[in-house]
Amino acid sequence: MESIKQLVTACRPKAVVIDSAGPAASLIVELTAAGIPVVTTSAREMAQACGSLYDAIRNGELWHIGQPELNDAVAAASKRPLQDAWAWQRKGNTDISPLVAVTLAAFGLASSPSYDVLGSIW
């Protein structure tokens, strides 16, 4: 947890966001115990996050500079039904965690209250 705390200190994120139904959910208790506030997404919020990211990219409102890991994740990504919407399909041969991370980061930036995460930690 010390490395994550150092990363939060160095980067000063608006939020630390974890999909409560994803594999990183196993970190929520430990992060919270370390004093790092965590924003979690419900299934509905994850679907909203995926749809919002997809729309922002298609509308030219969001782009990236061509990181190979993210390029590979985007190329391999597919959709899975989630309630009345969709989310990224995590099962497959290619790791799409970079795409999921970007999706959650965009969600956190757009929807988290405007506060200083560090103010909540220290």
Does residue 16 form part of some domain? Answer: yes
Q: Is 3 a residue whose pLDDT tops 90?
A: no
Backbone angles phi, psi at 57, to 5 degrees: -70, -45
* pLDDT single digits (tens) 33-74: 988 889 999 999 999 999 999 999 999 998 889 899 999 999
Does residue 122 form part of some domain? Answer: no
**Half-sphere exposure for 61 (CA within 13 Å, toward CB):** 9
Domain extent at residue 87: 2-117
Does residue 60 form part of some domain? Answer: yes
pTM greater than 0.95 (yes/no): no
41, 18 contact by CB (below 8 A)? yes
Counting the structural domains of the chain, the total is 1
